[in-house]
Amino acid sequence: MSDSDRPSMRDSDRPGAAPPWRATVLTLYPEMFPGPLGHSLSGDALARGAWSLEPRQIREHGLGRHRNVDDTPAGGGAGMVLRCDVLGAAIDAAADDSRPRLLMSPRGKPLTQDRVRALADGPGAILVCGRFEGVDERVIEARGLEEVSIGDYVLSGGEIAALVLIDACVRLLPGVMGKHASGVEESFEGGLLEYPHYTRPREWEGRTIPDVLMGGNHAAIARWRAECSRALTRARRPDLLGRDEP
Ligand code: SAH
């Protein structure tokens, strides 16, 4: 009986298998995980052990009877700041290895597909989710946290940003997308946006599928798709094009 005949075997139990990609999330809202990642392809992959998820409650390291985690900003101003001693202890208890330590933060380097691919190729990540006004700067320095942003807007907490980052990584893990894996042709892979897709019906509300896609000439289809990709990228995201592109 081959391994593929054993549906109950977890990916990580296969002889010679690499340890699964591992995400540890430090948060005040561990119940938000896996959330949407428990469904569809990422959920199936989680259930069969192709990746693992460990949400950790920061408040377990909170201070006093009320397990306080935050305090008012030094120098005054609105909101609350996550304490460095609390977060430092939470990180020390969770981060027992050399995985990248990421702090979800609108001040961070914007997340890109290249960075996602590099993270997916590694052992996993430790993700720290901020809340309130953010976290005490000293813990960022002392624990070597790399700030990562998912875009130029402000969320109310890092949890949704962490879900975004984990989702983008998990779908690249071997076997997660199965035959859906289109890798090389997707937006950003190869530096361009993806060409448009169509499926049945051939005509809908007077709109038809471009003839070239129905003609069966694979070279012509590949040319058409490449031209569409370039035109879309030029129109919508000229910043993605190489310097010598018009
Ligand atoms: N006062 C902060 C914003 C805090 S928002 C500032 O102006 O920079 C609260 C938390 O949400 C942050 O600590 C961070 O963990 C998360 N967050 C907000 N926007 C984010 C973004 N664009 N990318 C990643 N994380 C974000």
Tell me, what DSSP letter sits at residue 201? Answer: -
Q: How far is CA 24 from the centre of its chain?
A: 13
The string of pLDDT tens digits covering residues 163-177 is: 999 999 999 999 998
Percentage above 70 pLDDT, the chain: 89
Is the per-residue pLDDT at 243 higher than 50?
Answer: no
Ligand 1 mutation target, pool 136, 137, 155, 167, most atoms within 8 A of CB: 155
Cα–Cα distance, 86 to 142 (Å, whole number) = 13
What is the distance in A from the centroid of ligand 1 to the CA of 111? 14
The string of pLDDT tens digits covering residues 188-198 is: 878 999 999 99
**Cβ-proximal residues to 181 (8 Å cutoff; 6+ apart), any chain:** none
What is the distance in A from the centroid of ligand 1 to the CA of 159? 10
The string of pLDDT tens digits covering residues 138-156 is: 999 999 999 999 999 999 9
pLDDT, mean over the chain: 92
Q: What mean pLDDT do residues 192-210 have? A: 98
Per the CB < 8 A criterion, the answer to whether 198 and 142 are in contact is no
- My answer on whether omega of the bond before 30 falls inside 30° of 0, hence cis, is no
What is the distance in A from the centroid of ligand 1 to the CA of 142? 19
- The atom number, within ligand 1, closest to the CA of 153 reads 22
Q: Whose CA is nearest to atom 2 of ligand 1?
A: 133
- The atom number, within ligand 1, closest to the CA of 82 reads 13
pLDDT at 178: 77
Q: Whose CA is nearest to atom 26 of ligand 1?
A: 105
Q: How confident is the model at residue 226 (pLDDT cuts 50, 70, 90)?
A: very high
Per the CB < 8 A criterion, the answer to whether 72 and 117 are in contact is no
| Residue count (the chain) | 246
pLDDT at 72: 98
The string of pLDDT tens digits covering residues 4-59 is: 444 456 665 666 677 899 999 999 999 999 999 999 999 999 999 999 999 999 99
Q: What mean pLDDT do residues 104-116 have? A: 98
Is the per-residue pLDDT at 60 higher than 60?
Answer: yes
End-to-end CA distance of the chain: 57
Nearest to 108 by CA among 145, 64, 156: 145
What is the distance in A from the centroid of ligand 1 to the CA of 134? 7
pLDDT at 246: 46
Q: What mean pLDDT do residues 205-224 have? A: 98
